[in-house]
Amino acid sequence: MIIDNMKVYWVLLLLFLISFKTFAHEPIYGHGPHVLYKGGFAPGLVFNSGTGFLETEYELEYGLTSKWTIGAVVPFSNASGLYSTEYYILKGKYRFFTDYEPGSMNEIAAFGGYQLSKVSNGITALNLGLTGGREAIDWYWFASAAYTAKFTNAALKPGNEINYDFTLGYRPFEIDYYKPDLVIFLEFLGKYQQKGELNSASINNSGGNSWAVAPTFMLTYRNYAFRAGVEFGVADNGYITKPKTNFKIGFEVHL
């Protein structure tokens, strides 16, 4: 009985931590359609922390073509008590629409990720989504929606998810190529989680919706970027709780 309770606890913690990692050069909580240039490398480091948890993500992305970026994430977290990694993520993004204008770009991209669990009864997940938006020298917007299907050998299977977000961005100072460049974002984040299953039977007291808002920013200097922000849970319904207040800090470089 105690072991079963422990399993539920770990699965719930993992659930909380599962969120397919963002690509470089987009909102730090949400998603955006931008991809790396052909042959470009982008190593990055993201810290995510709040009450009682710390997660560090080591990321590496590569521009396979000017439209297609692939990447890998190795997250370390203290979810299991030890600061360790319990899963790896492989991800990709393909930008299939671009509308270029002087000083701006409208884009749409499809993205996906595969989360591979290290532990035998861990959660393997597949994530597929669409994202679009506009980057311009004065303001930005991004929107995305993604479906995450979860698979596990454990008796308790968490519900699949739909995550969606909308981001507005504003550049308060005129952009200059050789001066630091600041963009401030306001990210709106939503999640719908289907009911979980215990021994293939639907769990009534599971599933629901949650919403959050995150003021964030991106400070770049040529090929170096620093992103940070705080996420505040706003509302929830059903049997999931809104995200606890947490912050993210990210560093990345384009090589």
Partner 1 sequence: MKGNKYFNSVLSAILFLSLFIFSNNSLSQTNQDGQKKYVKLQVDGLACQLCAYGLEKKLKALDGAENFNIDFKEGYATFDLPESTKITKEELKQIVSDAGFSLKSVVFSDEPFKNKNEKKSLLK
CB of 57 to partner 1, least distance (A): 19
By CB under 8 A, tell whether 63 contacts partner 1: yes
- Per-residue string for binding with partner 1, 80-99, x by CB under 8 A? ------------------x-
Nearer to partner 1, 178 or 199 (CB): 178
Question: What does the alpha-carbon distance between residue 119 and residue 117 come to, in Å, rounded to a whole number?
Answer: 6
Nearer to partner 1, 24 or 214 (CB): 24
CA distances from 165 to 40, 74, 191, 214 (A): 27, 23, 9, 11
Nearer to partner 1, 4 or 99 (CB): 99
Question: What does the alpha-carbon distance between residue 140 and residue 168 come to, in Å, rounded to a whole number?
Answer: 6
Residues in region 156-175 near partner 1 by CB under 8 A: 174-175
CB of 59 to partner 1, least distance (A): 15
Question: What does the alpha-carbon distance between residue 192 and residue 22 come to, in Å, rounded to a whole number?
Answer: 19
**b/e code 12-26 from CB counts within 10 Å (16+ = b):** ebbbbebbbbbbbbb
By CB under 8 A, tell whether 36 contacts partner 1: yes
Q: What is the largest CA-CA distance in the chain?
A: 64
Identify the residue among 84, 103, 202, 241 touching partner 1 (CB under 8 A): 103
Identify the residue among 6, 9, 38, 170 touching partner 1 (CB under 8 A): 38
CA distances from 166 to 132, 187, 202 (A): 10, 6, 31
Nearer to partner 1, 101 or 120 (CB): 101
CA distances from 179 to 169, 171, 186, 220 (A): 19, 13, 23, 9
Identify the residue among 34, 91, 150, 157 touching partner 1 (CB under 8 A): 34
Nearer to partner 1, 12 or 105 (CB): 105
CB of 135 to partner 1, least distance (A): 4
Radius of gyration of the chain (CA): 18
Residues in region 39-58 near partner 1 by CB under 8 A: 39-40
Identify the residue among 184, 220, 228, 230 touching partner 1 (CB under 8 A): 220
Question: What does the alpha-carbon distance between residue 185 and residue 180 come to, in Å, rounded to a whole number?
Answer: 16
125 close to 116: Cβ distance less than 8 angstroms: no
By CB under 8 A, tell whether 221 contacts partner 1: yes
Q: Which residues bind partner 1 (CB under 8 A)?
A: 24-25, 34-40, 63, 66-67, 98, 100-105, 135-137, 174-178, 181, 183, 220-223, 225, 254
